[in-house]
A and B are shown apart, each in its own frame.
Chain A
């Protein structure tokens, strides 16, 4: 016996209800969380390796542009493949396609963990994205089939938002606690369990009627917002780890403010009982404001990043799910439009990386001169004996040469000095002052990127207002 769950005008989901209700409930209880977890994992993979990139570069060798492709390749392949994958899922039974996608994703995750060279890792990431694309759009259909239209779509969207926001946090903690390979290893068992879960949902997709055009305004807004959020999810962790020299675990804990605030966004919206468009406008303003605040940090104290991140997290929670709902509403086939939203978001991530990476790398290069001059001034004027200043200058020069192109660790230059206790105190203060100058230079290097990202977040308002005007006229 089958019951048909109507979705929009054209897709009919066929849910097998031959089993007794109790078994159906049991299956659903296990299946729905596993499928939602899979969605979360796949979307977390977009940013999960951010904090592990320096470690990957150290272990696998290669160049900085190559290691950036570990990030870019996944987002690019996902963006390109997800719409065709959704089209296939709209015309075939999504359960086996989804299960295959999850299995490919699991296998590619294992391959990522075992990769011994950068090209192998990048290739495995591409395959991971390929499997992930089928898993994502398949899970949308299966979550709806296992629950209902409203709850299925809501869980799919929520899992995606949470996965996106939690990605850098999870990656940072796993890298620090175990290793960068652990990021990929932990995904394998969940994905392996999700394969039978996907196959257990009996669904059949039958294309009926015409295919609606993709919703341009919400998808364009999603792409622009995702480009802006790239700054929060990628650049902020780079600033914390590479710019300010914090550990990946501390950086991960710090950026956990974003997912926490994103969680809080929905209750806030319910409390405000705001209109959908008001939520999106408020969300864009919050993301843009948070990114502007990151561009105007008063110091390198981690506490200063909390309020800007809270604004970004609230904005993320208010906008991404609302825009995704708008993109899916009354459009069929739902899975295809789900694919468009994922594609738009990951094109946005790639766009964000393409725009922001050259800006901040050029600014980081430009920041070297003022940083070196500020350090030179402090060393020249330091209240240390002249011979110690010369030895320190030599040590600092060696460190700068050794870590060319990166924010250097100046401590070895101070550790080599043989100083009397009073001079040791002066040297410790000098080291703190020099580190502060480096932090200032690094923060300044990210300033333009955060402002550009804020501009991208504000520009997400444009398609929504244009659409509103068209609808009004």
Chain B
């Protein structure tokens, strides 16, 4: 083949290959091939959890997020997979219920260790607003000094009692009913506060 003919035979394919390489090079340099959904983080790794909510709602949110991580880590699934499974399934398994409870208890321990649990007196007003106690009792409790409330009630103790008392199976089955969720949680918190006070009185006596 003559050199000119050979050049004619290869010039266009070479130009085509160069064009293709150029386009692919630019795309890969800009993240081509990595445009995929974000991967879930390991639930066993430490995750910084914050909340824009304040008071009991903010505390509950942080506990639930940390508790989900702990439960997912125990079940060897991602936090997101567990959340979706719990949201979509009406009947959580025993393993899921036990893992969620253990995860929530771990979350209380972690928040206590990190000094993120507020003293009970900071939550008293909001808790009383949500409770169905009679007005006189509420006024009496509000009149108590913070130091007395904080010595009588430890936030971590109340939370552990609440978590242990909660019927998690019923709670997880009612995730799409916020009113029923609030009712169950308030009932569990009220019972936990009473139990904590009784236990404290027993200790004093």
A376 touches B57 (CB 8 A): no
| Residue pair B27, A376 in contact (C-beta under 8 Å) | no
Cβ contact within 8 Å between A289 and B24: yes
Say yes or no: A297-B32 contact (C-beta < 8 A), given A289-B20, A444-B37.
Answer: yes
CB distance from B12 to the nearest CB of A (A): 4
User: Could you tell me the distance between the alpha carbons of A372 and B83 in the complex, rounded to whole angstroms?
Assistant: 11
Decide if B10 is an interface residue (CB 8 Å cutoff): yes
Interface size on B, as a range, is 35 or more
Q: Mark A375-388, 1 if CB is under 8 A from B, else 0.
A: 01110100111110
Report which residue of B38, B41, B60, B61 has the largest number of chain A beta carbons within 10 angstroms of its beta carbon: B38
Chain A, Cβ-Cβ closest to B87? A397
Give the residues in chain B near A378, CB-CB below 8 Å: 38
Add 10 more A-B contacts to A311-B20, A318-B12, A373-B81 (CB < 8 A): A289-B21, A290-B20, A298-B34, A380-B83, A385-B52, A386-B57, A397-B87, A437-B37, A443-B36, A444-B37
Contact with A along B82-107 (1 / 0, CB 8 A): 01100110000000000000000000
Q: Can you offer 19 A-B residue contacts whose CB atoms are under 8 A? A: A278-B8, A290-B20, A292-B20, A293-B23, A296-B28, A298-B32, A299-B31, A370-B36, A374-B38, A374-B80, A380-B68, A380-B79, A385-B53, A386-B51, A386-B53, A387-B57, A394-B176, A397-B87, A444-B35
Q: Name A435-473 residues within 8 Å CB distance of B.
A: 437, 440-441, 443-444
Which residues on A are within 8 Å of B, measured CB to CB? 269, 272-275, 277-279, 281-283, 285-286, 288-290, 292-293, 296-300, 304, 307-308, 311, 314-315, 318, 367, 370-374, 376-378, 380, 383-387, 389-390, 393-394, 397, 437, 440-441, 443-444
Q: Does B115 contact A (CB under 8 A)?
A: no
User: How far does the alpha carbon of A160 sit from the alpha carbon of B32 in the complex, in Å?
Assistant: 34
Minimum CB–CB distance from A323 to chain B (whole Å) comes to 15
A292 touching B24 in the complex, CB below 8 Å, given contacts A279-B12, A374-B37: yes
B139 within 8 A of A: no
Residues of A within 8 A of B19 (CB): 286, 289, 311
Q: Please determine whether A376 and B83 come into contact, CB atoms closer than 8 angstroms.
A: yes
